[in-house]
Structure 1
């Protein structure tokens, strides 16, 4: 029988540990558990991903640990080692940069991509190398740490140019006072931890003292350093609340299997920085937000340094207590990981959620620009298509009380509108017969001049089962067999030609893409139908005495249609700009015998 059965499980202990679902030698999934026996057995009672993992694997292996903290560390290491396909992984696999303040009698500042157990101070990770280089360049200019004598420090015969420029105390040639050098190191540490207020006060005091001593060159140098610090850390920081002091807070948003997690660092009541990561659930399957957030927390905080005393989560995740215990051990003081429910901290989470949503929308637009909209892959999976669709066409009907029926065609390629190929058709079928109208619209799309357009990979019909089957009949008449699906209004349910329906979450990328296409199709048809009504009304007004072209355009702009114009009182019409009572009476008399469109 395919997969692992419940009776095939090895004797599992009721202790913390890590379990590995494997197929032959390949690791499919790595997980941690407070109770290994209960956790692994739960897979046989799950739907979705849990059941698929059990069915695809041929065995389960486990490693018992002393506690949840040890299980957390082991889980993270095994995931990095095996990169299992069913685990939530970061979209990229690069090591993010850190600033390293070396542990030496005369430390230096380095850019590194790995944190080692060497006693050095690490700051990061930073979301991009450019940010690290800018911070390091600023610190190198302001604080005279050594720069060119290597790590560990090598002795030199003569000082380098940085010493002559006042940017190094030259410990490599024995000219630096150890106490003065450690004071510089302290200032660098405070800046990297986001505490610049005290540094600015010290620099200001030194500047005033230099000015009083008539050392204006030194005073100007100190002033420039203060301005550089304020420019970099002041403009890049947003004040939150000084009472909040130091904490991290996170935001999360998702669209189907695409997730954005953002982390904001607050130091001394100001937002010091932001880390934004894009994650995808494995094999394009929508994953639970808790698992995605946990993957981010695990990957980020097992390297991040220095650690804050408090971390605010948008929602609870399994394992947050173990994470808090581990981070408390690393920090040497308590780290609280929790979900605030009210007050200023809850408002910070709202701020993070809004920005995560903006980042998610930007990521989706980037995918669309590349022709790689996530909804296309999701459509292939949801509808069981042989290949991922690229060209989608939407079909919609529009009329007003049966009059002026029109058909609309909208085109998406790669998830993006291709407006140059939108089309509008006047229909011959009666406006009240949506089935005949849809059949005519689809038939004419694949005959005549429109058949020169590329064939679509999927047809979206705006309507229910009746409209979908009418479109299917039209395709058979023209000798085509193309995938098609309906999108019923209000419920936003997918309707298949065989009568089945599919209800997807509103956040599902396939549904979002189809709704966008449906709305574009409807907007295109509605604009054409309104244009036809306006033309019809314009022709009707042409024969009325006293209503010239200028008055006709004014009436069209104000009332839009015949019904609204007929309901307008005589006095109102007479007092319109450019109108008079005589023209208004002629208009009312002419309209009283006209037919409604």
Structure 2
């Protein structure tokens, strides 16, 4: 019985009915898989270009796979750029250039709430508050935070410390905080300091100084000379910083980008100047997916990056690209202010562009050397494990806890190019005997490899997409010896998972690196030695799993430490908790108090004092008749 082949897609017929309006076009292949998403100032002109002339190998291959196309008409070219960006992020089409995420870069975060805290942040930007950045390094964030504390005196203490302070800390004494923890500044005044800091971090220091100057004159006219003097000092500090930085970098706000493709590796280096301060460079390696044109890679980067991060007024690039005016117009409309993308510069800007070009040349060569070394390690792993091909996906599991407390399992993922951080997973382990690493490993692996149909309905919804429930690994590394490896064998056998190569990584003598023993799935034990590229690769993956597990465990343990025991006592809300801690000077003082002492606090009855005392000391509260409840 023969299977009929699908009819080839008639692109020329499709184009006949298209409009000249701006919009987004989508190409679909077999199994309705999205191949490519593109934007167009004119849909008819852009789409027809795929079917009216010969193309290079990549485009020709893509066009040959098209089974159908869809278009979305938008109101403007900038809206088309926005829709394109959202579709690329959501579906990661096979033939689009993909910008890898930059979750590892640090940000400055001003938290939400009545008394916001300013701090450094690394990771996903899912929490409440305003994020500023990303910054090229932790050092740049520290310098910025130091500046914020000197100028605006925002708090940097943990919330648990802030809630339990009874007197100002050293930061107040040295003039870097206004002590909101003990009410030495009003809520309205602190909110104004936060607003000023946000203005400054947004690169609007000129507008900030104008506002502060107007406030200073108003305070002087109202005979509020002390406040006017404080505003004068703040203006002086900002202008002194501007004067110093303008001598070093007179540009104000701009980004400088240099791009390169060498041996199939694309690299973009972004040098940022904000408010005249050179914040250094960040390096990106977009996934080309068959593209080879540097200008295309640069265009894709601009489209994707600046819809995630606020663009400066000026962007300097090292080369022109086809849709520069369209991208510039779209960024201007999205930002609500004029954005310029410049290719021809002189003076200081040319110096910065040359610096970016030097950095991109070094970065792409270093990345290629790193990829060559990684490929050699993977080839050695193939030989050691007797694989038929290089593994496309390697996963490693590790368990972390302290004396059985706050047990966390980690799963890290590596592909042909290295770590795939957006697919890392942590599992909070519950319902086991504390310290039982075997049970913890069994639970984590069962949750990782459990088939979707076995999940509860609400959990199945959370893992419905392919990224949340990723493909099976080719190699599964287990940090541990034979006992841990047995748990992995049992789980895979119970769930009917096949085709996964299991390797246990047992620590060597005195836990010394390079002395590890690898326990293979067929029972063999091998010690490749410290100079084995295969073992170096396994150590790299294992150490990353260990780091990721430790980080999760410490976070979980810290959360348990900082959550007050009072929160678990019935009848104690935020106000009573604050009153108790303020009266006794903290949890330590409260624990040493008697029931009668606790009952002296406003709003605390004797019965509630009994419950508080019992909750703090692990006893049972007394009933009114003198018996224990």
| Bigger radius of gyration | 1
TM-score normalised to structure 1 length: 0.48
Taking structure 2 as the reference length, what is the TM-score of the superposition? Answer: 0.46
